Structure 1
Amino acid sequence: MAGIWGFPLWEGQGIAANRIAAALAAIGPGLEPPGAALAAEAWRQAWRPPRLRLLLLAESHMATAAEELATPMLPTPGWPHPAGFSRHLYCPAYGEPSLVPGLAAARNAGTGQYWRLLALVEGSPPPTRAAFPQATGRLAAKLALLRRLRDRGIWLTDASVVAVAGPGGQRLPPAAHAAALRESWRCFHGPLLPPLRPAHVLVIGLAVARVLGPRLDESFPGRWSAIPQPMGARGAAPAAALLDTLAVAMRLHAPAD
């Protein structure tokens, strides 16, 4: 059955689309078209583990314009392909300009800080250009890392179903940012995440934790904690503390077999 733009339908897509639409209606105009929010969720769902152990709850994907969403991507063997281009770590073309030649490289910088964070705490070389100069090797390293994380029951999703930031420094103002988090939880994550029963939820972003703290307390009592975003842990000591906290959470709640 066809799903988004002819891509395979993923389980729960219709329900997700309705819930995302409800969140968008409550939040109001944002930084991207509604289809971009559903595309980002399709990429997240493509990498959701069968048994969720550790939920990494970040802030949001980066905004994707309508014309970018429709930009053709070159084939990426081995990767799922549930939707078009999206500025999310799970989309192989994000940060890989050679895979989307129709998109300006300057607008496809990727999210190197998250790749470095996940790889370092998992114990593998970060899949960066410095370590893997060729795109083929870099994509293979990214794919292998994501598969290992999924096998351990680790899933990265976003607190806001709509982008709160975009290329060039775009960002929702504070009130709209908080509303995006609250309405995303009310309409989407509140019904979706607690039934998955993760052993622990690690919030990546202290602003997210401040807004959603009461809801997380209610849904995951005693089972969640928070760390700064990678770009917010400035200096050697804060960066080391962030890595250590994430590594401990992975070891305790999603140990490698």
Structure 2
Amino acid sequence: MPTAAQESSIQQRLLNRFEIASQPDDRRRAKRWPMLRILAVLRDTAAIAFFGLLFFSESFDILENLTGLSVTWVTKPLVSYIFCAGFALALLSPLLTRILSTRFREKRFEAVPETPWFLFLYREKAEKILDEFGFIRIGTFRVDGETSPTFIEVYLSSRQRVVAVFHLRMGTKWTELVSMTDSGRVIVTSSQADSEADNEADNATESTPSIVMTTVPERPFDDMVAFHRQKSIETTEATDSPITELAETDVVDVLRYCNRAKHDLQVNRGLSRDKVGPMSYGRFRFPVGVIA
């Protein structure tokens, strides 16, 4: 039987959890960050417009030679102005995109009917191990909120404690294994450092009260699963909190929770801004974990 002091400690811990969980959602919820898309669209549009105007300029030159009409006095300065504007935009877009990328972006996961071919080939390497370990396919999603087109294929382990995520972003492919404790600490094992972070050493582990993230070199999927399980055991022993059992309907909520925890880690490292506040994702509440 717990002593009076232990009961008081447990009650205080529950009070703190529900006190945090009762705070209102912050105003960053479901922001799409359209400026990132606008920069990308303007950059692409400027390039298309530039080459298009070059084509029309050549056409006008041909027309002038055939008809004797002078029209290039209008088109050539216009092409020059468009070229300068497009070139300046191309130089500034990466810098502006990186600055905007340091702000928190609430990701949205939209189901797509088919897996992109390159993502399928990448995931196929792990297919045998996925079957042996009893992973269940949840689906393929397009991730809205990234600076570049990103697709993921998601699986849930047979014991419903590990989410396997295969990523594809602009030709870059990597794998993540995600688990979460009841107390709200996310355990992430990734085969690639976050795109917004500096390169990390092999098996580099960083942690905050909301996340334990380990970056490992690309390796066979079964080795990665074994490493993740060991890291999960160490985390649960350190926090005295078991791994949460997940339903299939919980997976997207956990991925969104994980995104917020990753940004919190980046803020602590000084690589991102905009500290994140509490947020509800289904039956989970950042940063306190399971509340229902």
Under a length normalisation based on structure 2, what TM-score does the superposition of the two structures give?
0.26
Structure having the higher strand fraction is 2
Higher relative contact order (CA 8 A, sep 6+): 1
Larger of the two Rg values belongs to structure: 2
